[in-house]
Chain A
């Protein structure tokens, strides 16, 4: 977790205003995650490093580099820009942390890529507006109907909030985000948990999925396949966008993405239009 020194507040504030402006044009997804290509601080004018996305666009990304001569950390698809191959599955990971049911896994064998690095507006949260401690700031009384007061700045940051379908109206921001510590999520006990461990929050409702995820059935892990092996675990929000669950009439819970190119046509075949014809008349 990042500790933000007070002197960065002003900078962050400025950035948030800039960001809110640019985010208005982006998709809900990209806006929420903070669209890495838009990070101005890291812009390298000379050579654009190859950045490929992992599970879905807007979530985790990996910058290609050579670990050893001729051995990249990742290979990316030239067609879609998706990560296609891992030379180092553990790049940039931190320990997953304690979790019931994982006692057999040796220390440090369950690792994750910290989500907080990717969430561009996270550094502002809990320091800019919702710092919860300033003498001038009094937390408003929480609305009983779970309908938040529309705040233009907030909706500018996250257009998906205007039509939050998660829970179909039964949950709202502070069911998931900590009331006073806005850079944290909230677990079963109402205690703050890191954005790097969203499973502690999501599992509150989606317990079956949490169990499957813990056992490796749901979700994705890379690295060593042995049940006690060293693995990078993909956390919930690397694949799912909690602010937009209705995307494309669900599409199995995933946002649509561009597929990789189809296989080559065998010799003599001109096209694959015949595949669209149904052989049995009906």
Chain B
């Protein structure tokens, strides 16, 4: 499978209309020759204040263009049910709103799943050193909220640090259950390989630590996703290329999916995401990393804005140890297919029959 076009991340795509921002000036009169249409209409409106027309024009062109677009967004359909025409309209609407909000041309891609592609992911748990670079690459790519108040900072990948544990001679008399005198000796229990005793907020000076192993966890893009089943409005669903996506404009924020997910992959936007203008990634996908809104759920989507155009997800590209592998499961030559053919793989919580397309392996 080859792609003719360059990856979506190609800057050429967003080169066209960098919004003309008038140069800042201390003197308000200095900007007069460059008066925008809004200013013009405002002035016109002032002259004919009594005129209903003028007032109407003023309202339409007021600062509330955003509100008007949001109003239109309120009545759009679920993305899956939109006609191509409606998709184009929704896309144009969003691009206008985002471009205005973030002061630069934001592209909202609507590329569909590519035929012959079923995305899959594999992660070498033996390699992971717990540096969290994937976590922050994901944030740089996917326009998550990054405020400082609690709940405003969203990360989709969690890296779990697990103790290696040890069975030492000195602990021979400390066995479980301690203090009851039932069993003494020969049971120097320490939490080797205990997942639920892990740490998420480890902060050593350097990783990997000798006494720890690491396991990153994010959305598993299950083949049988419990989150999709429980969603009362089908805002979250699985795309033909295997990625479970969310139509952020359709989500009602009931959070059933968050409860149903056995991998804690989903995050809730407690407020309008804090996303500084200079940090936005302007290459977005409708079902992917476009800026979200207050009260909706989001999660990893394997960087649809990249992968739909053939590019690796952001986390794969920054992993300094090459533990993260991504590819087309239908292509027997792809990295992931070869890993499945050659390595020992396991799925996290396989007993829940969610059939993740995210595989852990070791070599």
Instruction: Determine whether the beta carbon of B334 is less than 8 Å from that of A87.
Output: no
Inter-chain CA distance A263–B11, complex, in Å, is 30
Instruction: Determine whether the beta carbon of B207 is less than 8 Å from that of A226.
Output: no
Kindly state whether residue B318 has any CB partner on chain A within 8 Å.
yes
Contacts of B278 in A (CB 8 A): 70
Inter-chain CA distance A13–B203, complex, in Å, is 44
**How distant is A236 from chain B, measured CB to nearest CB, in Å?**
11
Kindly state whether residue A225 has any CB partner on chain B within 8 Å.
yes
Picked from B197, B328, B342, the residue with its CB within 8 Å of the CB of A279 is B197
Inter-chain CA distance A89–B129, complex, in Å, is 23
**How distant is A268 from chain B, measured CB to nearest CB, in Å?**
7
A216-B320 contact given A229-B2, A256-B207, A259-B132, CB 8 Å threshold:
no
Picked from A218, A225, A266, the residue with its CB within 8 Å of the CB of B150 is A266
Inter-chain CA distance A254–B124, complex, in Å, is 14
Closest to B9 in A: A87
Number of B interface residues at 8 Å Cβ cutoff, please give it.
78
Instruction: Determine whether the beta carbon of B317 is less than 8 Å from that of A264.
Output: no
Kindly state whether residue A212 has any CB partner on chain B within 8 Å.
yes
Contacts of A249 in B (CB 8 A): 210
A68-B11 contact given A227-B334, A259-B207, CB 8 Å threshold:
yes
Closest to A220 in B: B322
Instruction: Determine whether the beta carbon of A218 is less than 8 Å from that of B322.
Output: yes
Instruction: Determine whether the beta carbon of B127 is less than 8 Å from that of A252.
Output: yes
**How distant is A147 from chain B, measured CB to nearest CB, in Å?**
31
A84-B140 contact given A254-B129, A264-B153, A278-B191, CB 8 Å threshold:
yes
**How distant is A81 from chain B, measured CB to nearest CB, in Å?**
11
Instruction: Determine whether the beta carbon of A262 is less than 8 Å from that of B333.
Output: no
Instruction: Determine whether the beta carbon of A227 is less than 8 Å from that of B328.
Output: yes
Instruction: Determine whether the beta carbon of B132 is less than 8 Å from that of A70.
Output: no
Inter-chain CA distance A253–B309, complex, in Å, is 34
Closest to B338 in A: A215
Instruction: Determine whether the beta carbon of A220 is less than 8 Å from that of B319.
Output: yes
Instruction: Determine whether the beta carbon of A85 is less than 8 Å from that of B314.
Output: yes
Instruction: Determine whether the beta carbon of B7 is less than 8 Å from that of A223.
Output: yes
Kindly state whether residue B201 has any CB partner on chain A within 8 Å.
yes
Contacts of B333 in A (CB 8 A): 104, 227-228
**How distant is A207 from chain B, measured CB to nearest CB, in Å?**
14
Instruction: Determine whether the beta carbon of A217 is less than 8 Å from that of B363.
Output: yes
Kindly state whether residue B331 has any CB partner on chain A within 8 Å.
yes
Name which of B137, B158, B317 has the most chain A CB atoms within 10 A of its CB.
B317
Kindly state whether residue B327 has any CB partner on chain A within 8 Å.
yes
**How distant is B186 from chain A, measured CB to nearest CB, in Å?**
13
- B42-50, B174-182, B253-261: which one contacts chain A? B174-182
Inter-chain CA distance A87–B201, complex, in Å, is 29
Contacts of A254 in B (CB 8 A): 129, 208, 320-321
Name A75-132 residues within 8 Å CB distance of B: 75, 77, 80, 82-87, 89, 104, 106
Closest to A275 in B: B199
Kindly supply a per-residue 1/0 record for chain B positions 1-45, scoring 1 wherever the CB is within 8 Å of any chain A CB and 0 otherwise. 111000101011011001000000000000000000000000000
Inter-chain CA distance A84–B316, complex, in Å, is 11
Instruction: Determine whether the beta carbon of A215 is less than 8 Å from that of B141.
Output: no
Instruction: Determine whether the beta carbon of B363 is less than 8 Å from that of A212.
Output: yes
Name A191-246 residues within 8 Å CB distance of B: 212, 215-229, 234, 239
Contacts of B84 in A (CB 8 A): none
Inter-chain CA distance A80–B325, complex, in Å, is 24
Kindly state whether residue B200 has any CB partner on chain A within 8 Å.
yes
Kindly state whether residue B294 has any CB partner on chain A within 8 Å.
no
Kindly supply a per-residue 1/0 record for chain A positions 47-67, scoring 1 wherever the CB is within 8 Å of any chain B CB and 0 otherwise. 000000011100000000001
Instruction: Determine whether the beta carbon of B199 is less than 8 Å from that of A68.
Output: no
Instruction: Determine whether the beta carbon of A222 is less than 8 Å from that of B312.
Output: yes
A56-B320 contact given A217-B363, A227-B334, A281-B177, CB 8 Å threshold:
yes
Kindly state whether residue B310 has any CB partner on chain A within 8 Å.
yes
Contacts of B174 in A (CB 8 A): 282
Contacts of A251 in B (CB 8 A): 129, 208, 210
Picked from A71, A84, A85, A212, the residue with its CB within 8 Å of the CB of B14 is A71
Kindly state whether residue B335 has any CB partner on chain A within 8 Å.
yes
Name B160-189 residues within 8 Å CB distance of A: 174-178, 189
Inter-chain CA distance A230–B111, complex, in Å, is 20
Instruction: Determine whether the beta carbon of A258 is less than 8 Å from that of B206.
Output: yes
Instruction: Determine whether the beta carbon of A68 is less than 8 Å from that of B326.
Output: no
Instruction: Determine whether the beta carbon of B14 is less than 8 Å from that of A216.
Output: no
Instruction: Determine whether the beta carbon of B203 is less than 8 Å from that of A263.
Output: no
Instruction: Determine whether the beta carbon of B316 is less than 8 Å from that of A222.
Output: yes
Kindly state whether residue A69 has any CB partner on chain B within 8 Å.
yes
Contacts of A104 in B (CB 8 A): 333
Interface contacts beyond A212-B363, A218-B363, A259-B203: sample of 18 additional A-B pairs, CB < 8 Å, sorted by A: A55-B320, A69-B18, A86-B314, A216-B325, A217-B342, A223-B7, A225-B310, A225-B311, A225-B316, A226-B327, A248-B208, A252-B126, A256-B208, A257-B207, A263-B155, A280-B176, A282-B174, A282-B189
Would you give 27 A-B contacts (Cβ < 8 Å), ordered by A? Answer: A54-B320, A67-B11, A68-B11, A68-B12, A68-B14, A85-B140, A89-B7, A212-B342, A215-B335, A218-B322, A219-B322, A223-B7, A225-B316, A225-B327, A227-B335, A228-B2, A251-B210, A252-B129, A254-B129, A256-B206, A258-B205, A262-B132, A266-B151, A267-B150, A272-B201, A282-B178, A282-B189
Query: What is B's interface to A at a CB cutoff of 8 Å?
Result: 1-3, 7, 9, 11-12, 14-15, 18, 104, 126-127, 129-133, 135-137, 140-141, 150-153, 155, 158, 174-178, 189-191, 196-208, 210, 278, 282, 307, 310-312, 314, 316-322, 325-328, 331, 333-335, 338-339, 342-343, 363
Give 9 closest A-B pairs by Cβ, nearest first.
A220-B322, A272-B201, A216-B335, A256-B206, A68-B11, A267-B150, A260-B132, A227-B333, A264-B153
